[in-house]
Amino acid sequence: PVGGAVTGRQSSPGGVRRLGDSYYLSADVSQFEPHDVVVMAYNHHVVIHAQKVMDDGSVSDTFTHKSLFPEDMDPLSVSGTLNPDGTLVVSVRRMTTFAGAEPLVVPTYRTEAHL
């Protein structure tokens, strides 16, 4: 995507879009610093969580967005790009299958990345 613009067919509720061989999800996290944002992936879900912690340890603002991705998502390919305008674009590649091949078996997984 150019400049954070994500276009394509919406494949499920929650803003997940398919474009070519990847899925994309965008979220406005402009009110948070990059170190406040965490992207987690587990069992075909991607969760964006941001939390602004004050100097005294109190939490002043939180944001959570959870989206279900299609079953052909590649859990090892989850990546995120934070654009200058504060839009986080999460991209996930699709797993490829060949005609007549056995269905993909994806193990239970969880990954987490701090920006």
Query: In the prediction, which pLDDT does 6 show?
Result: 39
For the beta carbon of residue 69, count every other beta carbon within 10 angstroms: 24
Q: List the pLDDT tens digit at each of the 115 positions of the chain.
A: 444 443 333 333 348 999 999 999 999 999 999 999 999 999 899 999 999 999 999 999 999 999 999 999 998 899 999 999 999 999 999 997 655 555 555 566 666 767 7
Domain CATH code at residue 21: 2.60.40.790
For the entire predicted model, the pTM comes to: 0.72
pLDDT digits over 82-110, tens only?
999 999 999 999 997 655 555 555 566 66
* Domain-embedded: residue 71: yes
Residue 79: which of 8, 24, 3, 20 has the closest Cα?
24
Domains identified in the chain, total number: 1
* 29: containing domain: 9-96+109-114
| 61 neighbors 37 (Cβ within 8 angstroms) | no
* Domain-embedded: residue 3: no
